[in-house]
Structure 1
Amino acid sequence: MTHDHDLVLRPTAAQTEAALNPPGGRHGGDLVVETLASLGATTVFGLPGQHALGVFDALRRSDLRYIGLRVENNAGFAADAYGRITGEAAPLLLSTGPGALTSLAALQEARAASAPVLAISSQVPKAGLGGGRRGYLHELPDQAASFRGVVKSVHTVRAQSQIPSAIAEAWTSALTVPHGPVWVEIPQDVLSAPASVPVVTGGDTFPEELPPRPELTAVAADLLSRAERPVIIAGGGVVRADASKKLRQLAERLRAPVVTTFGGKGAFPWTHPLSLQSWLEDRHTTDFLEDADALLVVGSGLGELSSNYHTFKPRGRIVQIEADLGKLESNHPALGIHADARLALQALLETVEERTDPTAPERVRTVLGRVRERIAAQELTLEQNVLAAVRGALPARAPSFWDMTVLTYWAWSAFDAEAPNTMHSAQGAGGLGYGFPAALGAAAADPTHPVLAVSGDGGALYSVAELATARQYDLNVTWLIVDDGGYGILREYMTDAFGQPTGTELTRPDYVALAESFGVPGVRTSPKALEADLAKALAAPGPSVVVLPAVLRMFAPTHLG
């Protein structure tokens, strides 16, 4: 009897030929590059460094496309976005010590947002490992320890024969739900020594699926089918699992209103009669959610932003579908279903009974009307016009990447993403500097659409060096910089809390002149000219910068009654 897996293990004639007759000049770095190619990687991000030179030399002999950024954290943000857009593990090549540590904030964001990033770092030579202090350049007592609390898994290599399996294992970990960043580290001398392992040609991996337990979906389906006022909260897990169509089918079958979290933007059609949109930081929405007798939470841990700063006090039963076991019932007791959102929604679709509720669309319209009235009373026309101009200029299906700035806070609640997996921000971990380098990664992933990055002037200075990257690789990214003279959102927070801000005002460059010094076209716009200027920049090939001098205000705190 022949088993399928026996056939997989037999080398093909081409694999045998490559193994027996390897090309000359290979070293350990080639094993890294060959393994990545065999797993299906086509693009890698990173920065070279002294201990990692073996990997970068091997890139020269490979077909992998290398996108080199100027700061490791920005390279991590680019890989994060590439992983979100493609659903594939994005290789991130780093060097030892300072280079590795500089990527930590980006890897934290990737973990929070479930973005599959495969970070591969060099290490000091093997003689320097094991806790001693040999005085090597970039040496850390325990480099991997700095990453264990950030990434999904850590994989260490001490010999060339371990490289293919360690990288394949890490790749599988990154793509097993919940997706996330993983860490592989390889000593310098292992990377630079002549290759003693045949050419790597076989690299199939099979990430594990995470189906729901049937007894749990049976109870959940019964609860939702019998509910009088079911409501759905759709989080980023719906987007990551590509489950938006199934979410819509279930919502329509249950006649259940849907609100999307800030990470779940685009998971449900904005103008659908059952769409509560994304006004989670609004007491009217919070009241509506609290009144639900059955609340289905899909792909969200109901964290700070998704629970209106933990003021959300549900009165009904919660069914929570979550792939990250640590987030299951972490904030509210629920019928917790540890599962991939797509598989769990499919199971519910097969078991729920169709509900009839002609009042649901009217109840949704009532809530949205109250939200609009509250915002309208605050005289925030400028902010709403600026956001509308961005939406008007951005082509359908074009992705956007948003830094932590006032306009982004508006966009979380009020921006129509128009499609799933098109609007991304750093709200997972909340670090500055995400928007522009992430947009570069998205442009590398899909050059068929222009990509928009949105930053404030404070966040822009975190990643301004990547204008050189945008120009070097001619990436189709338009960067909108809202220049308000400082850290605008922190200015508002401090003024509200303490009466006046401290440390929020910034000296900054002429961003248009700075962009042009990199060979990137720049234009200074106004709120009235924004839509036309932004549309023109997005339509032009290659990178561009649009600077909007404007002080935008946030809407009033909405977790208050």
Structure 2
Amino acid sequence: MTHDHDLVLRPTAAQTAAALNPPPGRCGGDLVVETLASLGATTVFGLPGQHALGMFDALRRSALRYVGLRVENNAGFAADAYGRITGEAAPLLLSTGPGALTSLAALQEAAAASAPVLAIGSQVPTAGLGGGRRGYLHELPDQAASFRGVVKSVHTVRSQSQIPSALAAAWQSALTAPHGPVWVEIPQDVLLAPASLPVVTGVDAAPEDLVPRPELTAVAADLLANAARPVIVAGGGVIRADASRKLRQLAERLAAPVVTTYGGKGAFPWTHPLSLRSWVEDRHTTDFLEDADVVLVVGSGLGELSSNYHTFRPRGRVIQIEADLGKLEANHPALGIHADARLALQALLETVPERTDATAPIRVREVLEKIDERITGQQLTLEQGLLTSIRRALPATSPSFWDMTILSYWAWAAFDAKAPNTLHSAQGAGGLGYAFPAALGAAVADPTGPVLAVSGDGGALYSVAELATARQYGLDVTWLIVDDGGYGVLREYLTDTFGETTAVDGAAQEAAVTDLTGPDFVALAESFGVPGTRTTPETLSADLAKALSTPGPSVVVLPARLRMFAPTHLDRQD
């Protein structure tokens, strides 16, 4: 009998030849890029820096494609989107100190959205680690500590022989459910020293399956089989697990209505008779969920937005399938199943009998009609019309990336994503500047069609440097900038909370802190060599369609002041 631990992996003839005859001029950085290539990486993002030069020099001797952005945070957003689109771990090469720290907001978004990003940063020379020699440029007392509260795992290298194993462990961590960002740091001298190790060719880091426990899925199947009014809440975990088809099969077998969270946009067909769409911040949806006798939550932690600002109070049993152990039963008591969404849904499909309920589509339609009546009563035709125009112009299979701007809030609730994994936003962590650099990463991941980015003027100013990146690489991204002269969302929040926005004295005149003096975005885009168009609500669809159908980057600017739909979580009187 042969046991796994008895197996010895014998090198192939090619591996032996490469090991015995390494090319000249290799350094520790070559071990990094060789390991990445052996793991299956084809593309890396990042910015060079003094301590990281060993990695960037090694790229000359590698087949890896390098995409360099202008700001580390934007490089992180691009890697995030690449990971979401491909399902692969996206390497992000960074330098020590300021370069590393500038990526933190992007890594926080990747963590919140379960995007697999493999961030590899340099460190000061080993003599400066652990309280040794001090005063190095970019030095932090404990650089890794800055990342521990953000990423899934931290891996510190102190010698060249540790590089392949550390990167393999980080790669596996990033791709094991729940996906997420990881951090690896390597000292400068380790990266620069001549490599004495053979060429890295045999690294394997397959992610571990997160399988549901059978006794839990048996109980869940029994609850669902005997439910009178089951309902499903589908979150981003369904998207990350590529489980949308299994979700639809289970919903149809159970005749269970489906609500998708903002992170789960596209996980269930928008026009399906059982689709309650994505109005999770609406009291009618919340009431419907509370009336269910069994609520199956798949791939969602029922956080602030998904629970209508924690006003959702289920009266029935909750079954929660969640890969992130920290989110399991974090907000509601449930039958908690710690598992990958795809594997758990498959287990339920194998055990749940078919049930019929002719009233389910009728009840869904009634809820959607109530929501439509509420929104129509707020006279928000401009905002609804803009979403219609964008949907008309955007090809059904093209991904879109949305910044934290008023139109994005609308898109979360009211935009038909058409397919899974096509609508992405920064709503996980909620930082500004996500849309455009993320769209660039998506265009790198799949150059076969156009990508749309949507920002406000405030968020656009975070990302405008990446127009140079878009032009340099000829990336097929159209950037729609809604210019309302300020931070529109915060303007509404301040007004709703305090009755007015805070005023400050600037340039001898009083202005709100949310008001912004901005550039002529069309002229600015053209100064980068990127075509720009100024549009109107009436011409948006045609202008956007033209830009999307023209290869290469483009900018479409819409001067407009939009309003958010009124919240309904405040309607509850308890």
Question: Which stretch has the larger CA shift, 359-368 or 6-15?
Answer: 6-15
In the other structure, the counterpart of 1:365 is: 365
In the other structure, the counterpart of 2:39 is: 39
2:556 equivalent to 1:543? no
2:65 equivalent to 1:65? yes
CA distance in structure 2 between the aligned counterparts of 1:385 and 1:236, rounded to whole angstroms: 27
CA distance in structure 1 between the aligned counterparts of 2:6 and 2:472, rounded to whole angstroms: 47
Question: Which stretch has the larger CA shift, 63-72 or 129-138?
Answer: 129-138
Q: List per-residue Cα deviations over 1:88-123 (Å, max 9, x = no partner).
A: 000000000000000000000000100000000000
Q: List per-residue Cα deviations over 1:460-497 (Å, max 9, x = no partner).
A: 00000000000000000000000000000100010011
In the other structure, the counterpart of 1:521 is: 531
In the other structure, the counterpart of 1:377 is: 377
- Aligned amino acid, residue 508 of structure 1: G
Give the CA deviation at 1:131. 2.5
CA distance in structure 2 between the aligned counterparts of 1:158 and 1:28, rounded to whole angstroms: 11
Q: Is the 8 A contact 1:523 1:545 kept in 2?
A: yes
In the other structure, the counterpart of 1:79 is: 79
Q: In structure 2, do the counterparts of structure 1 residues 8 and 342 end up closer, same or farther at CA, with 3 Å as the change threshold? A: farther
In the other structure, the counterpart of 1:557 is: 567
Give the CA deviation at 1:132. 4.2
- Aligned amino acid, residue 569 of structure 2: H
Q: List per-residue Cα deviations over 1:370-410 (Å, max 9, x = no partner).
A: 00000000000000000110111000110000000000000
Give the CA deviation at 1:560. 2.7
Q: List per-residue Cα deviations over 1:296-326 (Å, max 9, x = no partner).
A: 0000000000000011111000000000000
Give the CA deviation at 1:180. 0.3
Give the CA deviation at 1:529. 0.3
CA distance in structure 1 between the aligned counterparts of 2:404 and 2:178, rounded to whole angstroms: 24
- Aligned amino acid, residue 14 of structure 2: A
In the other structure, the counterpart of 2:474 is: 474
In the other structure, the counterpart of 2:507 is: none
Q: Helix, strand or coil: the match of 1:121? A: strand
Please list, as runs of the form range in 1=range in 2, the aligned pairs for 1:161-180 lying within 5 A after superposition.
161-180=161-180
Give the CA deviation at 1:290. 0.5
Count of residues in correspondence between the two structures:
561
Q: In structure 2, do the counterparts of structure 1 residues 132 and 4 end up closer, same or farther at CA, with 3 Å as the change threshold? A: closer
Q: Helix, strand or coil: the match of 1:120? A: strand
CA distance in structure 2 between the aligned counterparts of 1:560 and 1:100, rounded to whole angstroms: 41
Q: Helix, strand or coil: the match of 1:346? A: helix
Q: Is the 8 A contact 2:454 2:479 kept in 1?
A: yes
Please list, as runs of the form range in 1=range in 2, the aligned pairs for 1:162-561 lying within 5 A after superposition.
162-502=162-502, 503-561=513-571
In the other structure, the counterpart of 2:509 is: none
Give the CA deviation at 1:9. 1.3
Q: Helix, strand or coil: the match of 2:318? A: strand
Q: List per-residue Cα deviations over 1:511-538 (Å, max 9, x = no partner).
A: 0000000000000000000000000000
**Percent of pairs with identical residues:** 85
CA distance in structure 2 between the aligned counterparts of 1:8 and 1:150, rounded to whole angstroms: 37
CA distance in structure 2 between the aligned counterparts of 1:4 and 1:324, rounded to whole angstroms: 29
Q: Is the 8 A contact 1:122 1:185 kept in 2?
A: yes
Large movers: runs of 4+ above 4 Å: 1-8
Give the CA deviation at 1:7. 6.3
Q: In structure 2, do the counterparts of structure 1 residues 516 and 6 end up closer, same or farther at CA, with 3 Å as the change threshold? A: farther
In the other structure, the counterpart of 1:144 is: 144
Q: Is the 8 A contact 1:155 1:170 kept in 2?
A: yes
Q: Helix, strand or coil: the match of 1:453? A: strand
CA distance in structure 1 between the aligned counterparts of 2:180 and 2:117, rounded to whole angstroms: 6
CA distance in structure 2 between the aligned counterparts of 1:82 and 1:119, rounded to whole angstroms: 13
CA distance in structure 1 between the aligned counterparts of 2:198 and 2:133, rounded to whole angstroms: 34
Q: In structure 2, do the counterparts of structure 1 residues 536 and 6 end up closer, same or farther at CA, with 3 Å as the change threshold? A: farther
- Aligned amino acid, residue 523 of structure 1: T
Q: Helix, strand or coil: the match of 1:162? A: helix
Q: Helix, strand or coil: the match of 1:280? A: coil
- Aligned amino acid, residue 537 of structure 2: P
In the other structure, the counterpart of 2:510 is: none
Q: Is the 8 A contact 1:68 1:75 kept in 2?
A: yes
CA distance in structure 1 between the aligned counterparts of 2:452 and 2:301, rounded to whole angstroms: 28
Q: List per-residue Cα deviations over 1:19-77 (Å, max 9, x = no partner).
A: 00000000000000000000000000000000000000000111000000000000000
2:21 equivalent to 1:21? yes
CA distance in structure 1 between the aligned counterparts of 2:570 and 2:160, rounded to whole angstroms: 59
Q: In structure 2, do the counterparts of structure 1 residues 475 and 505 end up closer, same or farther at CA, with 3 Å as the change threshold? A: same
Q: Is the 8 A contact 1:132 1:141 kept in 2?
A: no
Give the CA deviation at 1:501. 1.2
CA distance in structure 1 between the aligned counterparts of 2:427 and 2:8, rounded to whole angstroms: 42
CA distance in structure 1 between the aligned counterparts of 2:492 and 2:67, rounded to whole angstroms: 37
Q: Is the 8 A contact 1:133 1:141 kept in 2?
A: no
Q: Helix, strand or coil: the match of 1:129? A: helix
Q: List per-residue Cα deviations over 1:415-441 (Å, max 9, x = no partner).
A: 000000000000110000000000000
TM-score normalised by the chain length of structure 1: 0.99
Gaps of 5+ in 2: 503-512
Q: Is the 8 A contact 1:485 1:505 kept in 2?
A: yes
Gaps of 5+ in 1: none
Q: List per-residue Cα deviations over 1:239-263 (Å, max 9, x = no partner).
A: 0000000000000000000000000
Q: Is the 8 A contact 1:93 1:119 kept in 2?
A: yes
CA distance in structure 2 between the aligned counterparts of 1:207 and 1:134, rounded to whole angstroms: 38
TM-score normalised by the chain length of structure 2: 0.97
RMSD: 0.9
Give the CA deviation at 1:196. 1.2
CA distance in structure 1 between the aligned counterparts of 2:292 and 2:39, rounded to whole angstroms: 46
Q: Is the 8 A contact 1:521 1:545 kept in 2?
A: yes
Q: List per-residue Cα deviations over 1:128-156 (Å, max 9, x = no partner).
A: 00024610000000000000010000001
Q: Is the 8 A contact 2:397 2:422 kept in 1?
A: yes
- Aligned amino acid, residue 56 of structure 1: F
CA distance in structure 1 between the aligned counterparts of 2:60 and 2:331, rounded to whole angstroms: 49
- Aligned amino acid, residue 434 of structure 1: Y
- Aligned amino acid, residue 281 of structure 1: E
Q: Is the 8 A contact 2:456 2:484 kept in 1?
A: yes
Q: Is the 8 A contact 1:131 1:142 kept in 2?
A: no
CA distance in structure 1 between the aligned counterparts of 2:407 and 2:275, rounded to whole angstroms: 22
Q: Is the 8 A contact 2:127 2:133 kept in 1?
A: no
Q: Is the 8 A contact 1:85 1:421 kept in 2?
A: yes
In the other structure, the counterpart of 1:97 is: 97
